[in-house]
């Protein structure tokens, strides 16, 4: 990738009304901005002709435009910044600060310099979740039939050195739960273990969700186990796991839905995406059973699809984006 042309605009690939909100936010930060309509005729042919210092892509579904940019763009690509709050919201300055940190890390400071958002909006910027380390990042890996092989392939291609913890929710009989760490942990450096009460999550590890106990987290991110049954027909409940992780670790979280049967987790993925957090799925071609990831895709909340190996590469790209916004 070549050095970004700081005189070129930041180009937004998004639909209304989010495109207008993003354009307004990027403009307030002092960057030149252009908008690219993903639904225009011959969009894929026109994309390479667009001059860009960086691409900001905010699409709710997988797209050939995203695939092309990730593979061929010489300018950096920023995938999704989540929901832009209303301008009178207390969250708006914090959202702009995070967006500025990402853009500045990719293309340098804006021509106007770093904006003093607290003066512009008279709202305190640092209103974090108490007890949750700002560097923590937790993603849910959700799977059912065919899941262990897919999750193993994903972990085999994902460096365990990333500042990332994973929570693995696998539909499985209770008798096989203890075998999962050995099955998916061969040939990679991830530390994969079952739940230990009061233990926090650490980077470089995968927590296997229990079948016969309900997993919860304290406000500080420590494991809590409850004897109450999982809601719904599946154990563990993927929906309940996603909701629990998002409640405690948002906004530094996301979910990947791998091979599986049923539609467990679709509603929770919708809630996650509505909060501006990423939801990815394994593609149908590589899944032993595509029912579960396809249900999420058909709900319109999947922003990226791919093989386990492609998802691992995308995760590394996403983590690099997040690192430029870390305090």
Residues 273 and 256: beta-carbon distance below 8 Å: no
116 burial (CB, 10 Å; 0-12 / 13-18 / 19+) is exposed
Angle at alpha carbon of residue 44, lines to 40 and 50, rounded to 5°: 85
203: annotated active-site residue: no
**Is 144 a known active-site residue?**
yes
Q: Is 323 a catalytic residue?
A: no
For residue 191, the cross-strand partners are 205
Catalytic residue among 63, 136, 144, 303: 144
Dist. CA 289–CA 272, nearest whole Å: 23
**Please, is 166 exposed, middle or buried when counting C-beta atoms within 10 Å of its C-beta (0-12, 13-18, 19+)?**
buried
**Could you tell me where the beta strands, DSSP code E, fall in the chain?**
10-14, 33-36, 54-58, 77-79, 138-143, 165-170, 191-194, 205-208, 214-217, 223-226, 253-257, 279-282, 304-306
Choosing from 73, 110, 136, 171, the catalytic residue is 171
d(CA 254, CA 233): 23
- Please pick, among 73, 259, 264, 303, the residue that the annotation labels catalytic: 264
Catalytic residues: 144, 171, 264
């Amino acid at each position: 990738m070549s050095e970004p042309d700081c005189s070129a605009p930041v180009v937004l690939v998004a639909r209304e009304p989010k495109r207008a909100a993003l354009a307004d936010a990027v403009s307030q930060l002092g960057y030149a901005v252009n908008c690219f309509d993903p639904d225009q005729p011959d969009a894929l042919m026109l994309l390479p002709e667009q001059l860009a210092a960086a691409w900001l892509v905010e699409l709710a579904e997988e797209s050939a435009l995203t695939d092309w940019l990730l593979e061929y763009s010489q300018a950096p690509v920023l995938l999704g910044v989540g929901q832009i709050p209303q301008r009178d919201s207390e969250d708006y300055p914090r959202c702009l600060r995070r967006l500025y940190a990402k853009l500045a890390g990719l293309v340098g400071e804006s021509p106007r310099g770093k904006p003093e958002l607290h003066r512009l909006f008279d709202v305190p910027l640092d209103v974090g979740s108490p007890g949750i380390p700002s560097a923590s990042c937790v993603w849910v890996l959700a799977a059912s039939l065919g899941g262990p092989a897919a999750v193993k392939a994903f972990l085999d291609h994902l460096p365990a050195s990333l500042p990332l913890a994973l929570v693995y929710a696998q539909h499985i009989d209770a008798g096989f739960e203890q075998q999962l760490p050995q099955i998916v942990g061969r040939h990679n450096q991830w530390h994969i273990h079952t739940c230990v009460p009061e233990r926090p999550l650490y980077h470089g590890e995968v927590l296997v969700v229990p079948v016969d106990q309900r997993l919860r987290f304290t406000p500080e991110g420590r494991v809590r186990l409850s004897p109450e049954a999982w809601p719904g027909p599946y154990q563990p409940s993927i929906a309940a796991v996603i909701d629990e992780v998002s409640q405690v670790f948002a906004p530094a979280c996301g979910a990947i839905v791998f091979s599986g049967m049923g539609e467990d987790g679709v509603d929770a993925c919708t809630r996650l995406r509505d909060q501006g957090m990423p939801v990815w799925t394994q593609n149908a071609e590589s899944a032993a059973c595509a029912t579960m990831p396809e249900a999420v895709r058909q709900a319109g909340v999947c922003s990226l699809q791919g093989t386990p190996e492609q998802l691992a590469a995308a995760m590394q790209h996403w983590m690099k984006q997040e690192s430029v916004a870390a305090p």
